[in-house]
């Protein structure tokens, strides 16, 4: 009986070793792609469109109402009746269709991009996004150029406006097969 136990254990170890060698050889032949990083002013391609990373703007609630008077905001009311304090990050991206064809982004578009700030991340604030981009659609006709304002929010309990201004920010537009993002250097 002991002989069979040792035989089974040996077969399992051999199978694990063979699997490990196989994984190592696959990773050597097909290394993971490198992240693609773009900075303000640089041009990149997204779903067949040419995009140019613009500046990032950081506001508190009062400042964004002054900068964008027509903005709609979802106010999160706390249990004590006060409005939750958040910081608004507006990423500007110019998107152009340089082809002779109409290009549709399909089910996803720039409103699904993610902001990463330090250890925190958040998707776009869709209500604010639509109010700043009322004519936005995921369809770009030949020759179209649109400046899109993507609005993100981060709660002040996670990061204050000052911390966000000093922290490098990443606006991620693709995680697979490589992580592609616009990188904004924080101000020290």
**pLDDT score of 166:** 93
**pLDDT score of 18:** 81
**pLDDT score of 79:** 65
Same domain, 62 and 128: yes
Same domain, 2 and 54: no
Contacts 24+ apart (CB under 8 A), 124-128: 124/150, 124/151, 124/152, 125/73, 125/74, 125/88, 125/151, 125/152, 125/153, 127/72, 127/73, 127/74, 128/71, 128/72, 128/73, 128/74, 128/88, 128/153
Same domain, 91 and 54: yes
Same domain, 84 and 175: yes
Query: Measured between alpha carbons, how far is 123 from 136 in angstroms, rounded to an integer?
Result: 17
**pLDDT score of 22:** 81
Same domain, 125 and 75: yes
Count of residues in the chain = 188
Same domain, 145 and 165: yes
**pLDDT score of 123:** 92
Structural domain boundaries enclosing 10? 1-31
Same domain, 25 and 58: no
Same domain, 40 and 131: yes
**pLDDT score of 143:** 92
**pLDDT score of 1:** 63
pTM, full prediction: 0.79
Same domain, 14 and 69: no
**pLDDT score of 174:** 87
Same domain, 26 and 85: no
Same domain, 53 and 146: yes
Q: Which residues of the chain have pLDDT under 50?
A: none
């Amino acid at each position: 009986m002991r002989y069979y136990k040792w035989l089974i254990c040996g077969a399992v170890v051999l199978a694990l070793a063979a699997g490990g060698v196989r994984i190592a050889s696959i990773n050597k032949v097909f290394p993971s792609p490198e992240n693609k990083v773009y900075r303000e002013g640089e041009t990149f391609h997204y779903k067949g469109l040419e995009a140019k990373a613009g500046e990032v703007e950081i506001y508190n609630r009062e400042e964004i109402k002054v900068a964008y008077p027509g903005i709609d905001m979802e106010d999160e009311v706390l249990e004590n009746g006060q409005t939750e304090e958040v910081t608004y990050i507006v990423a500007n991206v110019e998107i152009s269709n340089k082809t002779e064809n109409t290009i549709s982004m399909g089910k996803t578009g720039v409103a699904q991009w993610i902001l990463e700030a330090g250890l925190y991340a958040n998707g776009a604030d869709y209500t604010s996004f639509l109010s700043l981009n009322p004519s936005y659609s995921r369809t770009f006709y030949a020759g179209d150029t649109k400046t899109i304002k993507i609005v993100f929010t981060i709660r002040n309990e996670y990061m204050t406006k000052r911390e966000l201004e000093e922290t490098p920010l990443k606006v991620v537009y693709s995680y697979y097969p490589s992580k592609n993002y616009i990188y904004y250097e924080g101000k020290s």
